[in-house]
Amino acid sequence: MHALLNVAVMAARRAGNTLMRYQVNLEKLKVEVKGHNDYVTEADRKAESIVIDVIHKHYPDHAILGEESGSIGESDTVWIIDPLDGTTNFLHGFPSFCVSIGVQVKGRMEHAVVYDPTRQELFAASRGSGATLDGRKIRVSGQKDLKHSLIGTGFPFRQAESEMDPYLAMLKKILKHTSGIRRPGAAALDLCYVACGRLDGFWETGLAPWDLAAGSLIIREAGGIISGLDGSEDYMDTGHVLTGTPKIYSALARTCANEIRTLTAK
């Protein structure tokens, strides 16, 4: 295992263990509202602090981009951190949340870890070395037919007013042409579920870089395709993402071409 990935694994596990300790005392947790359906808790902040402390113990000169701490330092190596993806789930005791850590070197994602502390599942990848779940190699599903596929999504909330109508049109089409749609509520985990074949595809709008950084590399290393809704590579900037097995990705793009044009034109 690469040294950077090893540190990411260590940091994710420590942060995840901390989240689980908070989980048993949710009624005592301090919660702040950042925006509509957007929360931050002392658990988020503590988990991020743990991740940063582990990173800077080993690599004090590396930069950080964290959901709660923002941008810290300047370096060719940037750690992109979501200490608690799925905060709303966490607050309700709904067991779908995770710690996500991506390592970007000179603008390219090189290492990634997503840790689900409720299932103690650890997804990891290094560029060119494949993706793993708990140390075992994973691949996207072999699904080729959209009508037999299971697709994940996330509802718009950051720009819901402008994105909701075309999103719902897309949802209606995909629901009609697939075997089902799931919305667990933690995008980083959803991406990993595509990577290991639990989902055949996924799309969402309005995500942040820390939602996508780790999962995007894990998907690619597992043989999947990930891009912006319009096929572009700027999904880390726009937050609009489409991913899946090669066949399902293409089928989703074709099926929802009109809705995608409307969403990406905004």
Handedness of CA 208, 173, 233, 196 (dihedral sign): positive
Domain boundaries of the chain, sorted by first residue: 3-138, 146-264
- 99 and 47 in contact (C-beta within 8 Å)? yes
| pLDDT in single tens digits along all 266 residues of the chain | 799 999 999 999 999 999 999 888 888 777 777 655 556 788 889 999 999 999 999 999 999 999 888 999 999 999 999 999 999 999 999 999 999 999 999 999 999 999 999 999 999 999 999 999 999 999 999 999 999 999 999 998 766 677 788 889 999 999 999 999 999 999 999 999 999 999 999 999 989 999 999 999 999 999 999 999 999 999 999 999 999 999 999 999 999 888 888 888 75
DSSP string for 63-114: EEEETTTEEE---SEEEEEEEEE-HHHHHTT-S--EEEEEEEETTEEEEEEE
What is the token pair recorded at 188?
């980083």
Fold for the domain defined by 146-264: D-Maltodextrin-Binding Protein; domain 2 (3.40.190)
| Whole-number pLDDT of residue 159 | 67
Q: If you count them, how many residues does the chain have?
A: 266
| Interhelix angle 3-23/42-58, nearest 10 degrees | 160
CATH architecture of 3-138: 2-Layer Sandwich (3.30)
Dmax of the chain from CA atoms? 51
- Burial degree of 33 (CB within 10 A; 0-12, 13-18, 19+): exposed
| Whole-number pLDDT of residue 63 | 98
Write out the E strands in 89-227: 98-105, 108-116, 121-126, 131-133, 136-138, 150-153, 180-182, 201-204, 225-227
Assess whether the region 3-138 and the region 146-264 belong to the same CATH fold.
Answer: no
Distance CA(33)–CA(26), nearest Å, equals 16
Distance CA(42)–CA(45), nearest Å, equals 5
| Whole-number pLDDT of residue 262 | 82
| Whole-number pLDDT of residue 156 | 81
